[in-house]
Structure 1
Amino acid sequence: MYDEKLDRPDERVEVAPVRAGEELDWDALERYLRATVTDADGAFEVLQFPNGSANLTYRVALGEQMLVVRRPPFGQVAPKAHDMEREHRVLAGLHPVYPRAPRAVAFCGDTSVIGAPFLVSEYRRGVVVWDRVPDTMPADAGHQLGIAAVEALADLHAVDPAAAGLERLGRPEGYLERQVGGWTQRWQAVTTYDGPTATDAVADELASTLPVQGPAAVVHNDFKLDNCQFAPDDPTRVTSVFDWDMATLGDPLTDLGTLLNYWPDPAVVSILPGVDELGLPSKEEVVAAYGARLGRDLSGGDLAWYEAFGYWKTAVILQQLYARFVRGETSDPRMAGRGAHVTALSEHALHLLKTI
């Protein structure tokens, strides 16, 4: 049974003591950081960012210096997923031309240090919006928060990949076909259902109705409100965007479709408890703001395909998280309920595809 309280605690904290079972070799990590990072003096302390769902992310203090350390989750990892080397490359390239990307500090591919490749980046102070407007902002700031997030996404898609040194990050040609094929394989690897499902039906329908792909851009691949960090007292300013391990070059409308699938919609139960109460702009306003920022006309019917793709991809991700819980690869109790929305999201994706 899905327990919403596990995903919507009374008070979300930014960092917390490390969750049982998600400890790393702290001595080895400390030795690596002191040998690699400049000004790595002072006491070594670790706390965990507890609100993410997959990659294990920690705030490490070396005296006054704060760093973020990210590694893939324990256990079975889907091919090309949770790629810390890719995230480091993306941050290193984007930071100078898209300052919302945190500065990359180091990448360690030596799995003997903490058991997996890991990324080190700068730590930034700010607020992440989950299920309520932060107390540091006006209570009615939801609309501004939403528009700011959309504009941050549009600004990413306006980046020239060559200016960031990322022109070879991916292969834009055939991107949509590969995305559908790759996520279909991931679904088949983690499904616990007997017989055909709505998720299988969406995969078939997406593959048979691929839109004509637009100009390539740097694609985040998991862009959503809670992957944005805001200035504490300014709901119009996104200061950071997180979680770049799936970034590539491809059709930017997949990012917009992903964002829309996390947005409030009376036609489907949100997978983000509380998001309906934030006062965010409507989906129509989101699309209009995105198009206006880029000077792009999005009045055609293809956008429903991208939104359906977003719902379907999220359904697969939720099933992956649930499968990790079933296999005993995580001690996070929230993962027990991740499979509860899979069918509803897939059925909504089918509904959207019928509108094309």
Structure 2
Amino acid sequence: MSEQKGAETIPVRPGEDFDRERLLRYLREHLEDVPEGSMEVRQFPSGASNLTYLIRIGGWEAVLRRPPLGPLPPKAHDMEREATLLKKLHPVYPLAPKPYLLCTDPGVLGTVFYVMERRKGVVLDGSFPAGVDGTEEVGRQISETAVKTLVRLHTIDWREAGLESFGRPEGFLERQVGGWIRRYNKAKTDDIPEVEPLTRWLTDNIPQSPPATIIHNDFKLNNMLWDPPDWSSPVAVVDWEMTTIGDPLFDLAVSLSYWVRPDDPEELRSLLPTVTERNGFISRDTFLEYYAAQSGRDLSSIHFYMTFAYFKLAVIIQQIYARWKRGQTRDPRFASFGERVRGLIRYTTELARTGRVSFS
């Protein structure tokens, strides 16, 4: 994953460690270039889904990905699927890290996991890392590169790449709407009255999708690694667990749902702190204009996609909050996620009601 000065990795959180000696033996048995010496394990603190670790043995480094602890939704956090996807995707989209090995034997770490190459780079979350000058020109460069990177992904010939088995394009949007509504209901912990009319609106207003592409499904700045001062090409795009073959406008809207701007409502800005609030980053309008010009796609139905993208985000936060409330994770970051869900549902309901998106 990534390195940031001062907070690149953290000690492994309590309850999220594993049998290190067993892992070391497995790595030496299955990888040729693992050197002799002791193994250091650190945990990447960012991310709220799968658990990701830095493995270091001498000068050799790799990244290990495994599912979170506790009961998981069916088909969620599928490490075998993610590793297999990366094996096929990496040759045609080098920004996807190369997987080294997949372990399906639960006797090693108690779960399926995979190990992939280490890409070193800066992650952009709520602020620029120390030592990085976030000028207006830097914001513009990052914005333009993000659009180009997403468009490039959507131009891949997924059939030629052998990715047919990674999605069912026919009826994609209908399945997504129904599936995310079901996920919310399964993870529900508190009563939020706006949810029922919102989900009814989504079900009744599904547009016709454009031709399918491969979609990342969680494309955002903190799933990209950068090597400043060069902001024209990222080091990597990471976190491919939800990638599928589907509607590229859904992917676009998901990305824009994280593209928070300074004049957005406070409830949204507090939910999604990101550097895109800074001067220099393009507006959502401009992001859409760039995407439309580079991809040639019709964006006339983007209002639905944006509304659905915010609802999806609310469901993801609700699923994490449900795990915290049920004691399946001790991460203190998740204690406030219940209020975050309420605020996001209110925002999404207003978006559906007004029939427009404020692309500030």
Q: 1:264 aligns with which of 256, 260, 263?
A: 260
The answer to whether the 8 Å contact 2:167/2:244 transfers is yes
Does 2:110 align with 1:115? yes
Corresponding residue for 2:215?
219
Displacement of 1:202 after TM fit? Answer: 2.1
Corresponding residue for 1:155?
152
Q: 2:175 aligns with which of 178, 182, 189?
A: 178
How far, CA to CA, are the matches of 1:130 and 1:190 in structure 2? Answer: 26
The answer to whether the 8 Å contact 2:69/2:328 transfers is yes
The answer to whether the 8 Å contact 1:137/1:235 transfers is no
1:145-202 CA-to-partner distances (Å, cap 9, x unmatched) read: 12211221111111110232102211100111111111111111111123x6323332
Does 2:165 align with 1:164? no
Does 2:128 align with 1:133? yes
Does 2:140 align with 1:143? yes
| One-letter amino acid of the counterpart of residue 305, structure 1 | F
The answer to whether the 8 Å contact 1:133/1:278 transfers is no
Displacement of 1:136 after TM fit? Answer: 3.5
The answer to whether the 8 Å contact 2:181/2:199 transfers is yes
Quote the sequence identity (%): 43
| One-letter amino acid of the counterpart of residue 339, structure 2 | A
Displacement of 1:12 after TM fit? Answer: 6.6
How far, CA to CA, are the matches of 2:85 and 2:197 in structure 1? Answer: 34
Pick closer, same or farther for the CA change 1:276–1:241 going to 2, 3 Å.
closer
| One-letter amino acid of the counterpart of residue 61, structure 2 | M
Pick closer, same or farther for the CA change 1:93–1:137 going to 2, 3 Å.
farther
Does 2:52 align with 1:53? no
Displacement of 1:263 after TM fit? Answer: 1.2
Corresponding residue for 1:240?
236
| One-letter amino acid of the counterpart of residue 315, structure 2 | V
Does 2:286 align with 1:291? no
How far, CA to CA, are the matches of 2:6 and 2:187 in structure 1? Answer: 30
The answer to whether the 8 Å contact 1:221/1:247 transfers is yes
Displacement of 1:83 after TM fit? Answer: 1.2
Corresponding residue for 1:5?
none
Give me the TM-score of the superposition, normalised by structure 1.
0.92
Corresponding residue for 1:32?
26
Q: 1:79 aligns with which of 70, 74, 78?
A: 74
Corresponding residue for 2:309?
310
Structure 2: 5+ residue stretches without partners? none
SS of the residue corresponding to residue 238 of structure 1 reads coil
The answer to whether the 8 Å contact 1:133/1:139 transfers is no
The answer to whether the 8 Å contact 1:198/1:343 transfers is no
Pick closer, same or farther for the CA change 1:292–1:41 going to 2, 3 Å.
same
SS of the residue corresponding to residue 101 of structure 2 reads strand
Pick closer, same or farther for the CA change 1:174–1:129 going to 2, 3 Å.
same
Supply the RMSD in Å over aligned alpha carbons: 1.8
SS of the residue corresponding to residue 177 of structure 1 reads helix
Pick closer, same or farther for the CA change 1:201–1:31 going to 2, 3 Å.
farther
The answer to whether the 8 Å contact 2:124/2:275 transfers is no
SS of the residue corresponding to residue 21 of structure 1 reads coil
Displacement of 1:282 after TM fit? Answer: 0.5
Higher relative contact order (CA 8 A, sep 6+): 1
| One-letter amino acid of the counterpart of residue 205, structure 2 | T
Give me the TM-score of the superposition, normalised by structure 2.
0.91
How many correspondences in the alignment? 344
